[in-house]
């Protein structure tokens, strides 16, 4: 298995730290609103990575967090529930959007059962402990508005701040320097803990004899939850490229300050952004979509998954309705392939069952090359074209189903969910065949139209009619 590692800026062989384990941490959603399809694309990549690791013989352990306390969740919860205590308002809001998030995840084929989810608010004690330790070791300082991490102290200890991306004086924008309104010693220093402000939820915290009631900073949440669940160092950390700086740099700094082992995570895998109309999604540009919008236009969420997988994760994919329609057509084609398992040919014809059995392995090999999903789909399309031309015979069904199962495990396309048609629909098909036999074309076409309305398309072949799901 090869993966592009932001730490080395190269495609590296994946060599796990412990035996065959693949410990994977993905920065999860901030649960204050519906996530957008760009967020979702990131999670589709992480899900696919876990699938490919598993197929490549590793034992993945995949952890994802819910950021359920931060500026946005707090602001939104106060708007939505102005009359309940802040902590309860926060809990209600984040519970609601966590649930919606999981629904979206499942809809696009991400296997949430394979992920261990952790909530920031369930890990406050561990955060307090880490901050206390950082403070005791001289890497954190207390100010009026919270506790900050000192990058200067980190650098003095001999470690590098900026392992993922170069950080220099010139690379710091004027805007950042000018907007440096907080009580920090240096521009890059970041909050580990934020002091309480009226109306906000808060947790008790005593540090160096001072009462520091407040809440954790964003970066410390991920540091604590990743190592708490996976140990440190762990194998792979994933996220969108926008998280490289400052989020992941800060995680590395916090987690390795004062540690003898300078490694936080061995591999950092970052996915590029999904562009809409050639631009990054943003509310102000009006190119901001959620999965609800995709569904409202009649598209299958799995068509969106296919759209994401059609592009390599390190390139900017383009979302457009036209592009999504193409992906939907491709999905329909794959479903037509899957439907063959309910209608095998009686006639034996000598097509190799061995070939079918090898397909998941061939897909795995392609995907193990830095998650080459576009090539994998191209391969799959060639397979589909070939099989749809010859169909499958009765004694190949087991192998065929094993192949579909393997494809689903790798790509999450849920082809095994393509069910059989009803007995009534089978009768309609038989009735049409009878009508055709007596050359009653009007009746034949009527039955075909009726089936089409029920989502069943037909193709007449020399060796018989086959049906396929039609959306």
Partner RNA sequence: GGCGCGGUGGCCGAGGAGUUAGGCAGCGGUCUGCAAAACCGCUUACACGGGUGCGAAUCCCGUCCGUGCCUCCA
CB of 332 to RNA, least distance (A): 8
Concatenating the DSSP letter of every residue in 298-348 gives T--HHHHHHHHHHS-TTS-EEE-HHHHHHHHHHHHHHHHHHHGGGS-BSS-
Q: Which is nearer to RNA, 436 or 450 (CB)?
A: 436
459 binds RNA (CB under 7 A): yes
Q: What is the DSSP letter of 11?
A: E
Q: Which of residues 395-424 bind RNA (CB under 7 A)?
A: none
117 Cβ contact list (under 8 Å, min separation 6) = 28, 63, 64, 65, 66
312 binds RNA (CB under 7 A): yes
**What are the b/e assignments for 339-370, b being 16+ CB within 10 Å?**
bbbebbbeeeeeeebeebeebbeebbbbbbeb
181 binds RNA (CB under 7 A): no
Helix axes 218-230, 249-256, angle to 10 degrees: 60
Q: Which residue stretch of 17-25, 29-37, 132-140, 297-305 sits at the interface with RNA (rule: CB under 7 A)?
A: 29-37
35 binds RNA (CB under 7 A): yes
- Determine how β-strand 274-276 pairs with β-strand 279-280: antiparallel
What span, in angstroms and rounded, lies between the C-alpha atoms of 188 and 165?
A: 14
175 binds RNA (CB under 7 A): yes
194 binds RNA (CB under 7 A): yes
Contact with RNA (CB under 7 A) among 22, 52, 127, 191: 191
What span, in angstroms and rounded, lies between the C-alpha atoms of 109 and 3?
A: 22
How many Cβ atoms are within 10 Å of 175's Cβ, its own excluded? 8
Q: Which of residues 263-302 bind RNA (CB under 7 A)?
A: 271-275, 278-281
Q: Which residue stretch of 14-22, 123-131, 165-173, 297-305 sits at the interface with RNA (rule: CB under 7 A)?
A: 165-173
Question: What residues are paired with 106 via a beta bridge?
Answer: none
Q: Which of residues 45-84 bind RNA (CB under 7 A)?
A: 70-72
Q: Which of residues 230-249 bind RNA (CB under 7 A)?
A: 239-247
Per rule CB under 7 A, count of chain residues that contact RNA: 82
436 binds RNA (CB under 7 A): yes
Contact with RNA (CB under 7 A) among 323, 351, 362, 454: 323
CB of 381 to RNA, least distance (A): 4
Question: What residues are paired with 269 via a beta bridge?
Answer: 238
Q: Which residue stretch of 39-47, 101-109, 115-123, 412-420 sits at the interface with RNA (rule: CB under 7 A)?
A: 39-47
327 binds RNA (CB under 7 A): yes
Q: Which of residues 341-380 bind RNA (CB under 7 A)?
A: 372, 374-375, 377-378
458 binds RNA (CB under 7 A): yes
What span, in angstroms and rounded, lies between the C-alpha atoms of 218 and 464?
A: 61
Q: Which residue stretch of 49-57, 82-90, 150-158, 187-195 sits at the interface with RNA (rule: CB under 7 A)?
A: 187-195
What span, in angstroms and rounded, lies between the C-alpha atoms of 36 and 108?
A: 12
Helices (H), 368-439: 373-390, 397-411, 423-437
């Amino acid at each position: 298995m090869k993966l592009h590692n932001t730490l080395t800026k190269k495609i590296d062989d994946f060599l796990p730290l412990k035996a065959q384990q693949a410990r994977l941490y993905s920065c999860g959603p901030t649960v204050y609103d519906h996530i957008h399809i760009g967020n979702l694309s990131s999670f589709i990549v992480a899900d696919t990575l876990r699938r490919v690791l598993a197929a490549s013989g590793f034992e993945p352990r995949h952890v994802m967090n819910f950021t359920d306390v931060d500026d946005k969740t707090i602001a939104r919860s106060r708007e939505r529930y102005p009359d309940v205590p802040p902590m309860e308002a926060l809990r209600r809001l984040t519970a609601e959007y966590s649930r919606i998030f999981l629904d979206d995840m499942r809809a696009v084929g991400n296997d949430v059962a394979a992920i261990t989810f952790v909530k920031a608010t369930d890990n406050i004690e561990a955060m307090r402990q880490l901050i206390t330790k950082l403070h005791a070791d001289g890497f954190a300082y207390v100010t009026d508005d919270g506790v900050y991490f000192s990058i200067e102290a980190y650098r003095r200890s001999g470690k590098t701040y900026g392992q993922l991306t170069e950080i220099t004086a010139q690379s710091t924008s004027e805007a950042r320097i000018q907007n440096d309104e907080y009580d920090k010693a240096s521009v890059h220093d970041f909050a580990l803990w934020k002091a309480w402000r009226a109306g906000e939820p808060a947790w008790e915290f005593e540090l160096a004899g001072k009462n520091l009631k407040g809440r954790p900073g964003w970066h410390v949440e991920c540091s604590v939850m990743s190592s708490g669940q996976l140990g440190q160092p762990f194998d792979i950390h994933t996220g969108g490229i926008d998280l490289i700086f400052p989020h992941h740099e800060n995680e590395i700094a916090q987690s390795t300050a004062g540690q003898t082992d300078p490694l936080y995570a061995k591999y950092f895998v970052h996915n590029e952004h999904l562009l809409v109309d050639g631009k990054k999604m943003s509310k102000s540009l009006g190119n901001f979509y959620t999965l609800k919008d995709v569904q409202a236009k009649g598209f299958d969420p799995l068509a969106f998954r296919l759209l994401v997988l059609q592009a390599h994760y390190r390139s900017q994919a383009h979302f457009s309705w036209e592009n999504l329609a193409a992906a939907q057509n491709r999905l329909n084609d794959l479903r037509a392939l899957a439907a063959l398992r309910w209608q095998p040919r009686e006639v034996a014809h000598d097509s190799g069952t061995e070939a079918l059995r090898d397909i998941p392995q061939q897909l795995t090999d392609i995907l193990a090359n830095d998650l080459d999903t576009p090539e994998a789909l191209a391969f799959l399309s060639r397979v589909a074209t070939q099989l749809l031309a010859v169909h499958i015979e009765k004694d190949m069904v087991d192998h065929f189903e094993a192949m579909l199962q393997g494809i689903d495990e790798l790509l999450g396309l849920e082809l095994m969910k393509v069910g059989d048609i009803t007995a009534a629909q089978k009768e309609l098909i038989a009735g049409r065949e009878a009508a055709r036999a007596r050359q009653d074309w009007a009746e034949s076409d009527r039955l075909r139209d009726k089936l089409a309305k029920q989502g069943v398309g037909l193709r007449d072949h020399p060796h018989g009619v086959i049906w396929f799901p039609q959306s």
